[in-house]
Amino acid sequence: MTMLEIIEKKKLGKELTKEEITFFANGAAEKTVPDYQLSALLMAIRLNGMNYRETTDLTLAMRDSGDIADLSGIPGIKVDKHSTGGVGDTTTLVLAPLVAACGAPVAKMSGRGLGHTGGTLDKLESIPGMNVSLSEEEFIRQVKEIGVAVIGQTGHLAPADKTLYALRDVTSTVDSMPLIVGSILSKKLAAGSDAIVLDVKSGSGAIMHTEEDSIKLAETMVEVGALAGKPIIAVVSGMEQPLGTHVGNALEVKEAIDILAGKAGGDLLEVSLMLGGYMLLLAGQAETPEEGQAKMKAAIDSGAGLKKLKEMIAAQGGDPLVCDDVTRLPQAKVIREVTCGRAGYVQKMDTMALGMAAQAMGAGRLTMDDKLDYSVGFVLQVRIGDQVSEDTPLCTLHARSEEDAEKAEQAVRAAIRIGDEACDRAPNFIAVVMKNVLVRLGEEDQ
């Protein structure tokens, strides 16, 4: 077979065979197929789609294009969590220690932020001394000893995705359902966990902006997971506003610590408990997700969750005392309080614009080589649906300079609409998707 024949076939909307898909994935991983031909097939897939069987074959071929982590030496059912990306999404820093404190081993490989979305590794590296570059042997040993580790990708996992991801970004094929599924699941399957909980974001700060598209993505990933022999549960959650109130690396670590210490709650805690309930269910540590949530609440109340975070930070070379004194985290030079400036109701947030505002302050990167300022970002004081006055605090900016603070204030104000009409609060949960099961969650389920 040739790459030209494969492109021609998909261009005409025909199904590709497993062998043809494997040829494509291996060509991407080994750089034996030129970028222009890979790009042509990516566009053909974007325009004509793939069925579940093709998408599964693509996912597995991308998984098998490199190493597959062997976590069999870790006792118990290893459960992973993956979010499709958002702003103020600090669930991993809450969930990893909390789920581990409830008896489920968490061996998690995470990523860095790019664009308007934050990255778990960047947040962890805002903790002085924290090392996220463990070898696979060190990674496995740490999980066996303390039950949790969160690190960067080890080895040569899913190299086909690395090539195709870069091409998708410059060929307008990022929004292709089978390519999104293949990219996410190939890495998750290669990472070696026994079961996966997916947090599929929906809204202005997500890769999928509509509820129906988000549910379709969740259903596709659950179905492909089943065909690949991996149990997956997907929660479709809202991203019409930042999930947490804190946006920025060290600020998000502070919020996670506050939640584990029982000092904070809100939407970030709600979503973390929902996801963690299903993680404990899949790990065999709870009979129902509700039981799992109750266990996690107890671990917060007892201090077990925060203690586990301290253990993980210390094991990875970081300063565990940040959990007792958050001022040991990087601190911004300029802190500015911003008020709403008018009375009314918070009606809408452009979550992507808020993420980009934090990025422009130095909290995010445009290219993977950009250097971050871990101290900067902002803390939002309002949520959609809130009634506010002119003097109600809107946000607290943490900036490198007064000039940066001024620009950030303008960007945050432009991203948040305050109007005269009252409006509903933004829902945290839209649906839960399991194999052959779709449960839509309405206001009464919130």
- What is the set of active-site residues? 82, 161, 168, 183, 187
Query: Helix or strand or coil: residue 441?
Result: coil
CB 271 within 8 A of CB 245: no
Contact by Cβ (8 Å): 352, 87: yes
d(CA 378, CA 17): 49
Residue 183: other Cβ atoms inside 10 A: 22
**Strand locations in 227-350 (E):** 232-238, 246-247, 334-339, 344-349
Give me the phi and psi of 22, to 5 degrees please.
Answer: -65, -40
Residues 6+ apart with CB under 8 A from 138: none
Q: Residues near 239 by Cβ (< 8 Å), separated by ≥ 6?
A: 86, 87, 89, 201, 202, 203, 204, 205, 206, 351
What does the radius of gyration of the chain's CA atoms come to, in whole angstroms? 22
Helix or strand run (H / E) with residue 30: helix 18-30
Phi (first) and psi of residue 227, to 5 degrees = -65, -30
- Nearest-5° Cα angle at 96, 134 to 182: 75
Tokens coding 362: 């130095």
Dist CA 276 CA 298 (whole Å): 13
d(CA 68, CA 257): 32
DSSP state of 335: E
Quick one: DSSP state of residue 107?
Answer: E
Alpha carbon distance 90, 272 (integer Å): 9
Q: On the CB side of 367, how many CA atoms lie within 13 Å of its CA? A: 2
Give the tokens for residue 40.
Answer: 């042509």
Cα separation, 152 vs 188, whole angstroms: 13
8 Å CB contact between 208 and 202: yes
d(CA 403, CA 278) in angstroms, rounded, equals 45
DSSP string covering 343-395, please?
Answer: -EEEEEE-HHHHHHHHIIIIIS-SSTTPPP-TT-EEEE---TT-EE-TTSEEE
